[in-house]
Structure 1
């Protein structure tokens, strides 16, 4: 069902691009949003349909990740250009709620893409992710930020 809605959305977006004659990313994204809205309006089972719930969560996740990315870049850049270093590096053991290989891989890669953090390893039982971080002032706060940020939002999309 989700694949059908997504393919319908893509097809309508491509039709929009073809009709308008403007083959740009902005026009495609506008067509995608417009066709998503049209599919949403025409659907009778909006609340039960996962597609209409996942797309807004995915967009929210992208903005959340971009915010975290900018915040981490600013923090690392500030530490590099100032004479005093504010680093408190450490390796943190993060318990995982993510279960599938896809969820664990995406979480580990998102953590690694953020400057100042690096996913090191996953335990044999796949219940713990080991992360090296440059700024670990409070381990519990760091774990909570990963669990309530990246992992929670990622699981909302994948499940």
Structure 2
């Protein structure tokens, strides 16, 4: 369904004769609407559940990256060295597949100020280094209720 949506966006741009990002985006939204109307005939209802989840996922990740950049700038520029509390925190995992764990680890590493270090052999937890941990339990809860929950939604 996603590829069909992309093809509809390209067809829209071809019909209008303009291949600008705005025209392609409009064609994608228009194609999404057409596919939504035809979802039962095309048996593509799962696409219309996953597409909003993916949009929410991307927006959340971008927002977290912006917040993390601001936090790292605050820590580096405004926090005295003796008050910075770097640390390694074990995050217990509810997700189990290699793809899910890899996605979570990459998202954590992509976020400034954090770095995924290792996964336990039994995949029960992920070890994460943070530039300023503060409260380890709050840090764990933030990862589990944020990134891990969204990764689970997208993959399941």
Aligned residues: 155
Aligned to 1:17: 13
Aligned to 1:80: 76
Aligned to 1:131: 128
**TM-score, normalised via structure 2 length:** 0.91
User: Among 37, 45, 53, which residue is 2:33 paired with?
Assistant: 37
Root mean square deviation, CA, Å: 1.9
Provide Cα deviations, 1:8-52, integer angstroms capped at 9, x if missing partner. Answer: 111111101111222122221221121111111222389x82110
**TM-score, normalised via structure 1 length:** 0.90
* Secondary structure of the corresponding residue to residue 124 of structure 1: coil
Aligned to 2:3: 7
Q: From the superposition, tell whether residues 95 and 45 of structure 1 become closer, same or farther in structure 2 (CA, over 3 Å).
A: farther
- Distance in 2 (CA, whole Å) between partners of 1:100 and 1:143 is 20
**Structure 1 residue ranges without an equivalent (≥5):** none
CA contact (8 A) 2:75 2:132 kept: no
* Secondary structure of the corresponding residue to residue 71 of structure 1: helix
- Distance in 2 (CA, whole Å) between partners of 1:139 and 1:131 is 11
- Distance in 2 (CA, whole Å) between partners of 1:131 and 1:99 is 17
> Which structure 1 residue ranges, 4+ long, deviate > 6 Å from structure 2?
none
Deviation at 1:147, TM superposition (A): 0.6
Aligned to 2:58: 62
User: Among 147, 153, 159, which residue is 2:150 paired with?
Assistant: 153
Aligned to 1:109: 106
